[in-house]
Amino acid sequence: MSVRKLKPITPGQRFRVVNGFDAITTDKPEKSLLAPIKKTGGRNSQGKMTMRHKGGGHKRRYRIIDFKRDKQDVDATVVSIQYDPNRTAFIALVEYKDGEKRYVVAQNGLQVGQTIKSGSGSAPEIGNALPLGEIPLGTIVSCMELRPGQGAIMARSAGTFAQLMAKDGKFVTLKLPSGETRMILATCLATIGAVSNSDHQLLVSGKAGRSRWLGRRPRTRPVAMNPVDHPMGGGEGRASGGHPRSRNGIPAKGYRTRSRTKDTNKYIIERRKK
């Protein structure tokens, strides 16, 4: 993994930091694993804007990712590491012994030609997916399930990982990327290793236009609005907006919105950091 700092030959490139894409081995996606993406521009079926700051952006095609890793006990060979415009992590095209091809989220250190496997009894090596109960303590994992068979929903973005802290009966304890320590069923699958493209956090876009390419439209600061438009608007001069809150009045920055009576609270050992 590496990043490149460009020479400032234009104002937009003065502070721009781009990905070196050292890990990428091909720029042609697998056609059989592509699907179209229909853009909404933040509008609902009536054409009304229900989500602000969306619209435009480059056309994309969705890569169908195997989050469930349900083809178990069959060896798969990594064919290529590819860029995915729909996520921050890189993805790996793998080919199983029976000829089937699938995309999986690539882990740091995954190499072309490497063999990976999923299912109970797999070795705890990078790229392999196996039940949390079979993974050694202290191991770095990513792409975890929250319920058995659900598919990976946690620690999927670039550079993220969780650590296996303890095992107790049918539960294991994981320290999640948010800082939360939580119990999860030992039968849930997790992939060994941290997610690829860990340098993503070092990137600097360099200009506002790159946000437009990603489909993000300009956002107005709430304190610059009038009182009719936002609870933090109004005031004389450059008065800031009092207590930080959302447009519909829900407090932000420290205010807990999780229900105190939620059933799954009993599985959370330590809350995430503020």
| Closest alpha carbon to 247 in 43, 56, 51, 55 | 51
Q: Average pLDDT for residues 11-18, to the nearest whole number?
A: 95
The pLDDT-based confidence of 90 (bands split at 50, 70, 90) is very high
In a domain, 58, yes or no: yes
- Residue 1 pLDDT greater than 80, yes or no: no
Would you place residue 240 in the very low, low, confident or very high pLDDT band (cuts 50, 70, 90)? confident
Residue 162, domain member (yes or no): yes
Nearest to 162 by CA among 139, 136, 184, 185: 139
Contact 91, 30 (CB under 8 A): no
E strands within the chain?
3-5, 17-19, 34-36, 61-63, 76-82, 91-96, 101-105, 115-116, 129-131, 140-142, 162-168, 171-175, 181-185, 189-192, 268-270
Count of beta carbons in the 10 Å neighbourhood of residue 225 = 16
Expressed as residue numbers, the domain containing 123 is 3-40+52-200
What is the per-residue pLDDT across 104-113, written as a single tens digit (0 to 9) for each?
999 999 999 9
Query: Mind listing the pLDDT tens digit for each residue in 186-239?
Result: 999 999 999 999 999 999 999 999 999 999 999 999 999 999 999 999 999 888
Please tell me the predicted confidence (pLDDT) of residue 273: 77
Considering its fold, how many domains does the chain have in total? Answer: 1
Does residue 211 lie within any of the structural domains? no
pLDDT, position 274: 65
Q: What is the structure's pLDDT at 192? A: 97
**pTM of the entire structure?**
0.92
195 assigned to some structural domain:
yes
Higher pLDDT, 240 or 14: 14
Q: Report the pLDDT value the prediction gives residue 228, as an integer from 0 to 100.
A: 94
Is 176 inside any structural domain? Answer: yes
Is the pLDDT at 154 greater than 80? The verdict is yes
Give the CATH number, domain containing residue 72: 2.40.50.140
With a pLDDT cut of 70, the percent of the chain lying above it is: 99
**Overall average pLDDT of the 42-49 stretch:** 96
